[in-house]
């Protein structure tokens, strides 16, 4: 997976016009219930964030693209859970990870709307919380408000983490 993140970061560095669409797709996949279990994309998002300061990529469009992708992934997961309810647990790859959905359910029941925000920042919960929110029919607009606000914060956190790490590495390289 590390090789994938580096290859993608190299591609974005060489073709900066593709940065926003790639970040949108990565964030979408990272937030989509089934895909995020198979291909975690957060490393590639951090690597692309590292390019922001050192290659002059504009932060704002990349951040908005990541936020939209993350919010759309969670929205689709919510819809899928709302539409297919308990049948979701029998669908691959969730059928291979039977503990994920009950953990998401317990988390949503305990924390309510804040679970959407909190769950975005924790790997397996990121995949199951929106799905569980849909299954248990969390009110749509409450879900969406938490979804979009958390997507904005999450995308900024990943991209800025990469940017800050790149600046620290650049500084260390100069002085060591």
pTM score, whole prediction: 0.86
Tell me the C-alpha distance between 145 and 14, whole Å: 36
Tell me the C-alpha distance between 3 and 25, whole Å: 18
Q: What digits encode the pLDDT tens for the residues 97-132? A: 777 778 778 888 899 899 999 988 887 677 788 988
Tell me the C-alpha distance between 32 and 85, whole Å: 16
Tell me the C-alpha distance between 69 and 31, whole Å: 8
Provide the 8-state DSSP code for 122: S
Which letter, b or e, does each residue of 76-88 get, where b requires 16 or more Cβ atoms within 10 Å of its Cβ? bbbebbbeeeeeb
Largest CA distance in the chain: 57
From the CB of residue 124, how many other CB atoms can be counted at a distance below 10 Å?
16
Contact of 70 with 27, CB cutoff 8 Å: yes
Domain ranges across the chain: 2-175
Q: What digits encode the pLDDT tens for the residues 4-56? A: 666 777 777 778 788 899 999 999 998 887 776 667 787 888 888 888 877 87
């Amino acid at each position: 997976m590390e090789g994938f993140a580096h290859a993608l970061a190299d591609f974005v560095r060489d073709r900066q016009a593709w940065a926003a669409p790639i970040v949108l797709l990565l964030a979408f996949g990272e937030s989509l219930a089934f895909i995020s279990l198979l291909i975690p994309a957060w490393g590639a998002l951090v690597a692309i964030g590292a390019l922001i300061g050192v290659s002059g990529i504009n932060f704002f469009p990349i951040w908005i693209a990541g936020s939209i992708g993350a919010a759309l992934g969670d929205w689709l997961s919510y819809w899928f859970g709302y539409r297919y309810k308990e049948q979701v647990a029998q669908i691959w790859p969730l059928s291979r990870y039977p503990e994920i959905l009950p953990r998401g359910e317990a988390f949503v029941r305990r924390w309510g709307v804040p679970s959407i925000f909190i769950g975005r920042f924790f790997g397996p919960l990121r995949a199951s919380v929106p799905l569980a929110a849909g299954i248990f029919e969390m009110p749509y607009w409450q879900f969406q408000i938490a979804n979009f606000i958390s997507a904005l914060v999450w995308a900024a956190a990943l991209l800025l983490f990469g940017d800050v790490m790149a600046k620290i590495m650049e500084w260390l390289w100069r002085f060591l």
